[in-house]
Amino acid sequence: MKAPTFLEAGEVAEYTRRIDAEDIAAFARISGDDDPVHTDADFAARTAFGRCIAHGAHVMGLLSTTASMMSRRSVARGATGTPVSAGYDRIRFTRPVFAGDTLTARYVIEEVDDGRARTRARLEVVNQDGATCLVGTHVLAWVMPA
């Protein structure tokens, strides 16, 4: 069977981006989560973190970018379905992300299930010091044309 995903285990997509205070404020506006630990420097200074931290779902957004890089690669190779994010498993925020941090999101295909038109990827986000801020897995699924 011709693989409907056109992806292979071991393939990697990476995306690097700095998270600025303005980005965190924009995420707060879009999501509605304007908790002061994210948006109020004076408040955040009195928490265990000492500084404003990025939202977890914001950090996951960088992984969304890597998943889209992978899905475009699949389509460019001939996949006929529409690749779509099916879900995330066991996401853990292992270290806070602060304004000014430069993050690298890494997406590594671990399993390819051509029969079900799905792939599973290992996720990692590291900061400018190489410290891991997020780990988890992602499932990409190909929706076939009707």
54, 97 Cβ separation under 8 angstroms = yes
Q: Are strands 12-18 and 132-143 parallel, antiparallel or unpaired?
A: unpaired
Shortest separation between residue 34's beta carbon and a copy of itself, angstroms? 8
Shortest separation between residue 130's beta carbon and a copy of itself, angstroms? 20
**Residues ≥6 apart with Cβ < 8 Å to 21:** 52, 99, 100
- If the CB atoms of residues 3 and 36 are measured against a copy of itself, the closer one turns out to be 36
- If the CB atoms of residues 3 and 91 are measured against a copy of itself, the closer one turns out to be 91
- If the CB atoms of residues 70 and 108 are measured against a copy of itself, the closer one turns out to be 70
The dihedral sign for the CA sequence 108, 111, 115, 118: negative
- If the CB atoms of residues 3 and 86 are measured against a copy of itself, the closer one turns out to be 86
Shortest separation between residue 11's beta carbon and a copy of itself, angstroms? 17
Radius of gyration of the chain, Cα coordinates, nearest whole angstrom: 17
What is the rounded distance in angstroms from the CA atom of residue 118 to the CA atom of residue 102? 31
Residues contributing to the site for a copy of itself (CB under 8 A):
15, 17, 23, 26-27, 29-33, 35, 37, 47-49, 53, 55-58, 60-65, 67-68, 71-72, 81-82, 84-93, 96, 136, 143-146
Shortest separation between residue 131's beta carbon and a copy of itself, angstroms? 17
Sheet holding 132-143, edge to edge: 12-18, 102-113, 118-126, 132-143
